[in-house]
Structure formats: C-alpha cells, structure tokens
Amino acid sequence: MNILIAGGSGFIGSALSRELVQKGHQVIILSRRASERTKEFVNLNRNPDYLYWDGENVGEWVSTIQECQAVINLAGENIGGKNILEVATRRWTPARKQMLRQSRLASSKALVEAIKGSSTKPQVFIQASAVGYYGSHPDRDMDESAPPGEDFLAKLCIEWENATAEIDQLGIRRVIIRIAGVVMSLEGGSLPFILLPFRFFLGGPLGSGKQWVSWIHINDLVRAIIFLIEQPDAHGVFNLCSPQPITSRQLSQAIGKHMGRPSFFPTPEIAFRILFGEKADLLLASQKQIPKKLLSLGFEYQHPTVESALKSLIP
C-alpha cells in the first residue's frame, strides 16, 4: 500500500513510518525538513520518500496523492515541545497559540484541496486529534461519545477535526484519532519530562495526584493506527489510549517502583501554574479516556498496563 503521511518526520510520525516500512508499505512523508533523512531507515530495504511542503499550500507533491491508498494527517506544530527544554520554556503566549492553530488548520486545508483535485482518491484518511478535545473532568469516563470541553485545547481539537470534514463528502473513509495525553516513549512526548525528577530521587505525583492520566505505549499507538487503516468498517472517532487509565498518583507509584526510586514528593499545582501558565493543563488535566470503539473492533494491546509499558522502556 502507498501511504502518505503529512508530518511524518515528527515524534509519532517517525515511529509510524518505521513500522509501515518494516511491514512492506511504501511511505511518502510530507515534511518541511524533507532534506533530512531519518537514520533509522538506513538498514531497511525500502526507505520512505521525503517530499517538501510548506505545511500550508498545495505544491508539487499533489501528484503523489492519486498514487496513495491512505493519507494520514499528523501535521501541526508540537503542542508541548520537542524536548524537555521546550516543554519547560515555551509558554502558550497568544502568538504561540495562533501558531499551534494555524499549523493545523492550514495543513489540513491543503490536504483536502489536494485530494479534491485528485483524479484517483485515497481509500482512507486518518485525521489526528487529541484527548484534549474532552477538556478536564475529575471523574467522567471519556469514551468517543463524550462532549467536547471549552478550554483552548478542546477548541483547538474541534477546529482541527472539522478542518478535514469535507473528506466525508468525497466518499472517503475518514478516521479521527484522539491520541492520549501521555505517549509512552523515551524518544519524545511528555514521558521524559515526567521521569526527570525520579532520576534525581525527587519523583512524585503532579498536583493533587487524583487526576486521571490518559496514556498509551508508542508501539500500541502505532499498531492501532495501522489497525484502523486496515479495518474497512472503521470510521469516525476513535480514542487511542490504554484500556486501563490511571491517576497521576498511581503513575508515579508505578514509575517509582519500577525505577527503585521514591515517589512521594508531590509537585504542587501552583508551582506548575507559575512555571508554565495555561500550558500546565497538559499535565494537570484529569482525563479518564476510554478506547471503547477500538476495543469493540477487537484491537489487542501489547502493553495494556502501565507496568508493562514501563518495563519495555526502562531497563
């Protein structure tokens, strides 16, 4: 299968591209850094093709669309930051918020326009979104039927999902993936930031510790996306998260136990608010996300528990 990935050189896109290539698919990556070839593909028989785009406009890459059976839209400026330094220092200023919004809406519009103008259209379109769609709630189960929140992240996710709604009218199967807040990986996402205080024997829950943490292992996330591509009956919204949500306190206890480090040094919520401002919602929001539709299709997790996820990542 020929699969085009917008944003395929990012944290999730790189892991997904690697797995697709290993499975024998031909991957075409749209990237603003198309000249950079990912080193992990060097030893594989089939490398992805990297095509440049500006993330905003239809360009020469448009002719590739008609050769692809699947298109995946992961494009968008990183919400939290690409590394621990950016997580800690890059606040959500008005300008930053506008950049986050514009990077998602412009790239989505460009993909829709390219597909509309293509003589041969893809069979499936995967649209990225996030658990932030639901906002923060202390106890409510958030399956795919839960209503949206009203904060910045919720509004951003709503706009992002709606930006490719025209795909539905073209007879193309569109799948919206609301990705968990914590993607368990040491190569990106928020886990390295969460682990940092444990490495200095200062680990503990964030804030009250009572808030629910939405999480998924990177391998299960990638496998779930491929699963949804291959399932002809899969359409609409899917939560991509572990079937076993946990609280921040339970997560810190599991990390402390696995690493042999203390886990009783809580970080007060006020400290996060002072350091990160509104961006603190990324780690303090309570989101009991449930993958109801994914489970109903029979998807099987490799790492359904946080203990299994940590064991696979941290020696």
pLDDT at site 34: 56
Buried b / exposed e across 207-223, counting CB within 10 Å, b at 16+?
Answer: bebebbbbbbbbbbbbb
pLDDT at site 84: 61
Tokens for 77, please give them.
């400026």
* Chain center to CA of 111: 19
pLDDT means per 10 residues, the chain with 315 residues, are 94 95 94 60 62 91 94 92 69 92 96 95 98 94 97 97 97 97 92 92 92 97 98 97 96 96 90 82 92 98 97 93
pLDDT at site 36: 53
Mention every residue, 6+ apart, whose C-beta is less than 8 A from residue 250.
Answer: 306
Partners of 216 in beta bridges: 183
Residue ranges in the chain assigned as alpha helix (H): 11-22, 62-65, 84-89, 94-116, 152-162, 166-169, 191-199, 218-230, 248-259, 269-276, 281-284, 292-296, 306-313
Asked if 6 and 122 touch (Cβ cutoff 8 Å), the reply is: no
Tokens for 158, please give them.
């709503």
Which residue do the tokens 């449930």 mark?
290
Angle between helix 218-230 and 11-22 (nearest 10): 60
Tokens for 217, please give them.
């292992």
Asked if 272 and 212 touch (Cβ cutoff 8 Å), the reply is: no
Which residue do the tokens 């499936």 mark?
124
Tokens for 98, please give them.
């506008």
pLDDT at site 42: 41
CATH number at residue 265: 3.40.50.720
Distances (CA, A) of 195 to 10, 187, 258, 293: 21, 13, 11, 31
pLDDT at site 43: 43
pLDDT at site 275: 77
Helix (H) or strand (E) holding 289: strand 288-289
Q: Residue 147 and residue 143: Cα distance in Å, rounded? A: 9
Pairing of strands 212-213, 246-247: antiparallel
Asked if 58 and 91 touch (Cβ cutoff 8 Å), the reply is: no
Tokens for 66, please give them.
């008609």
Which residue do the tokens 């807040």 mark?
181
* Chain center to CA of 150: 20
- What is the total count of domains within the chain? 1
Owning domain of residue 260:
2-313
